[in-house]
Structure 1
Amino acid sequence: MKSNEVSEITGISVRTLHHYDAMGLLCPGRNPENGYREYAAEDIDKLQQILFFKECGFPLAKIKELLNRPDFDRAKAFDIQKKYLLHEKKRIDSMLKTLEKSIQNMKGELEMSEKEKFNGFDFTSNPYEEEARRLWGDEKIDQNNAYIAGLSNEEQKAIAKGMDDLFMNLSKVRMESPGSAIAQKAIAEMYHHFNANFGYQYSLEAFSGVGQLYITDERFTKNIDKYGEGLSKFLAEAMAIYTENKK
């Protein structure tokens, strides 16, 4: 299916589709004869998932990270997205009823109490947004930062030195295959180092998710690749393999 055909059935502009391709969010195959984009069935399914995430308030960069995670569960994503949108539907339906009554009240057709005028306004967060954040969000990083912020200057310096030494050692094996014995031994040491120093016990899935951040968040990529070109990519692959092997 060509870009203009996808645009026609989805309502998304061709320009937006091309932007998704350029940022690595949705990259269809290319026709070898003319180089035109060709969207397969799996690309259409992925586009649908992207749009559901957008409707739930996720930015494109975050969506890209989520879809690239090795532990991404499409069925679980659908379940949470459904609950999120049903919650929003209920809230919007309630506000629409309040709006309709307010119009009638303005016309003198009925009377509303002061409290009734604010039915449907909900300034608390959607509980399923919190569930999504727990599943896919950055709470691991947040917890790490909060833990480190509570340490003394000397303790923080010691952690920084430990991380510097860790990534220096990891950079020495980055030219090895991510699944090799020497690489996996280094990643095992990394996993244990994380759990011993950051005040948070990483699950294997969380550990793998951090690895994906190394290649989807340019801040991580830039800092990690200072230790050696391509280190972030190597770590993401090696951490995913470590997680899969330990399940």
Structure 2
Amino acid sequence: MALTVSQVARLAKISIRALHHYDELGLLRPSDRSESGYRLYSQADLQRLQQVLFFKELGFPLEEIRRILADPTFDLRAALRMQRQLLTERASRLDALVHAVDTALDALERGTHVDKDAMFEAFGDFDPSKYEEEAKQRWGETEAYKESSRRAARYKKEDWKRIKEEGDALFQAMAALLDAGTAAASTEAMDLAEAHRRYLGTWFYPCAHTMHRGLGELYVADSRFTENIDKTRAGLSLFLRDAFAANAERHGAGEPCGSI
């Protein structure tokens, strides 16, 4: 049975205005209209709305969500698996932060101090400035590097934490596929490769499929990349390279013409 816009708004706990906005963007257009011209939403529309809200909760911009859902190769099952992995990683990180807050509160109430090593444990050891000078020497004249530098200059500590969190979650999801024996050329692996490419586009620089394929080659050719990536799971760098290449071919991109 079709639902009206007000019924869907109550069900999804969002505003009618938001649903109208999604319609205008082409993000979620109702399948039908009543004789009076009112929007009517089907079960398939509700399923699409759920995807919109999942991606939105994970921080994806609306335009990016629209592109993802409009992709003819979009796989709902693979998307749900990826979303679950990303949300699980976020939940783990939030649990660690809650524990850190509780520890700080307990120390404050007792009049003691938190151990300096434990104080920032929840934030990890990500350092965005690492290899900065070398990156500038290798790619400083490229538009990708210049765009990445412009964006990075605006990021604050909480932005870098989020960037690390999202990147780690994508690599963990890839590692899970590798553990399960899933082929790098599978739909699931290629969808995650595409998610990683879009992640780079969201946070750093527009990354064409050919460039993304070249980045995968770099993950294997440069031992520092390989060593760091394979800390997540042995052999992950090779799996990423092959998944990036398969995804590039799926989108009609040939051999890499270079990376950033």
Task: Provide the TM-score with structure 2 as the length reference.
Answer: 0.53
Q: Does the 8 Å CA contact 1:24/1:64 hold for their aligned counterparts?
A: yes
Give per-residue Cα distances to partners, 1:192-243, cap 9 Å, x unaligned. xxxxxxxx887552239xxxxxxxxxxxxxxxxxxxxxxxxxxxxxxxxxxx
Q: Does the 8 Å CA contact 2:96/2:122 hold for their aligned counterparts?
A: yes
CA distance in 2 between partners of 1:22 and 1:29 (Å): 14
Identity within the alignment, %: 28
36, 53, 56: which one aligns with 2:55: 53
Give the Å deviation of 1:143. 4.1
Q: Secondary structure at the match of 2:60?
A: coil
59, 69, 72: which one aligns with 2:71: 69
Give per-residue Cα distances to partners, 1:131-159, cap 9 Å, x unaligned. 66622434761644998xxxxxxxxxxxx
Q: Is 1:135 aligned with 2:137? A: no
CA distance in 2 between partners of 1:32 and 1:50 (Å): 24
Give the Å deviation of 1:57. 1.7
Q: Secondary structure at the match of 2:83?
A: helix
- The 5 A counterparts of 1:164-175 are none
**Which amino acid is 1:8 matched to?**
R
- The 5 A counterparts of 1:1-247 are 1-108=3-110, 111-122=113-124, 123=161, 124-126=164-166, 127-129=168-170, 134-136=193-195, 137-138=197-198, 141=208, 143-144=210-211, 203-207=248-252
CA distance in 1 between partners of 2:43 and 2:29 (Å): 13
Flag the structure with larger Rg. 1
Q: Secondary structure at the match of 1:120?
A: helix
CA distance in 2 between partners of 1:32 and 1:83 (Å): 39
2:131 is aligned to none
Give the Å deviation of 1:128. 2.7
Which is further off, 116-125 or 128-137? Answer: 128-137
1:227 is aligned to none
CA distance in 2 between partners of 1:125 and 1:98 (Å): 17
CA distance in 2 between partners of 1:107 and 1:201 (Å): 55
CA distance in 2 between partners of 1:97 and 1:37 (Å): 46
Q: Secondary structure at the match of 2:251?
A: helix
Q: Does the 8 Å CA contact 1:71/1:205 hold for their aligned counterparts?
A: no
CA distance in 1 between partners of 2:247 and 2:8 (Å): 40
Q: 1:55 to 1:202 in 2, by over 3 A?
A: closer
Which is further off, 107-116 or 86-95? Answer: 107-116
Q: 1:112 to 1:27 in 2, by over 3 A?
A: same
Give aligned pairs, total: 156
CA distance in 2 between partners of 1:202 and 1:77 (Å): 15
Q: 1:73 to 1:146 in 2, by over 3 A?
A: closer
CA distance in 1 between partners of 2:247 and 2:54 (Å): 28
Task: Provide the TM-score with structure 1 as the length reference.
Answer: 0.56
CA distance in 1 between partners of 2:27 and 2:18 (Å): 11
CA distance in 1 between partners of 2:246 and 2:35 (Å): 51
2:133 is aligned to none
CA distance in 1 between partners of 2:211 and 2:91 (Å): 35
**Which amino acid is 2:114 matched to?**
M
CA distance in 2 between partners of 1:105 and 1:82 (Å): 34
